[in-house]
Amino acid sequence: MAVACGDTESPLPSSSPTTASTAEATPGPALTPTPTVSNASALLGYCDPPAMDTTPFELEVKAEWQGKDRIVIEGSVLLSEPVSLQYVICQDGELSFSLVPARQPEAKDGEITAESKLVPSERGPAVNPDAKFEAVLFFLRQDIHTPLLIAKIPVEGRPE
């Protein structure tokens, strides 16, 4: 999962809080993304994690388009241990290689912040402003880098 931070061709891209989200989440096995995979469908599993009740984690997170080329993710989560945050942006259920982290995503002191920017990419689907976008957040244990929580959040709005 550590490959996502700052690598513009990474399969792990990034992205405002309100009340509790209708997020789906799951704890899961260790993730091993392969940034050199040329076939985006090989990474399709990132966009369809098993569902889990996020209520025990008090997850409140919002992902939304800002402007024509940014997705911002902000919110809060109650976790029992320190985590690192990684995420992907999915378009109509497929991994988007065109929406990459604009800055290091963080889940620190219960606060979640991340932002993606739109970049040219020949991998994966071309960005369609009318598509359904979702952010899939991976909260990784810092000691062993396995997921403590995985949450799928709908991206609100559309590019301007």
> What is the C-alpha separation between 131 and 102, in angstroms, rounded?
21
User: With bands split at pLDDT 50, 70 and 90, how would you rate the model's confidence at 53?
Assistant: confident
- List all residues 6 or more positions away from 55 whose beta carbon is below 8 Å from its beta carbon: none
What was the pLDDT predicted at 17?
38
Residue 102: the pLDDT is 96
Q: What is d(CA 117, CA 70) in angstroms, rounded to the nearest whole number?
A: 5
Residue 25, pLDDT > 90, answer: no
Whole-angstrom Cα distance, residue 30 to residue 1? 9
pLDDT of residue 52: 77
Share of the chain above pLDDT 70, in %: 72
Between CA 41 and CA 66, with CA 136 as vertex, the angle to 5 degrees is: 110
Q: Does the domain at residues 2-156 carry the CATH identifier 2.60.40?
A: yes
pTM summary value = 0.74
Going from N- to C-terminal start, the domains of the chain cover 2-156
CA 156 to each of CA 4, 74, 106, 109, 160: distance values in angstroms, whole numbers, following the listed order = 23, 12, 20, 25, 12
Match 């940034």 to its residue by tokens. Answer: 35
Is the pLDDT assigned to residue 87 strictly greater than 90? yes
Closest CA to 117 of 155, 151, 71, 156: 71
- What is the spatial distance between Cα 26 and Cα 153, in angstroms, rounded to a whole number? 12
Q: SS3 of 41, please?
A: helix
Most trustworthy range by pLDDT among 2-16, 19-33, 34-48, 101-115: 101-115
Half-sphere exposure in the Cβ direction for 40 (13 Å, CA): 22
Q: How confident is the model at residue 44 (pLDDT cuts 50, 70, 90)?
A: low
The average confidence (pLDDT) of the chain is 79
List, for residues 12-22, the tens digit of each pLDDT value: 433 333 333 44
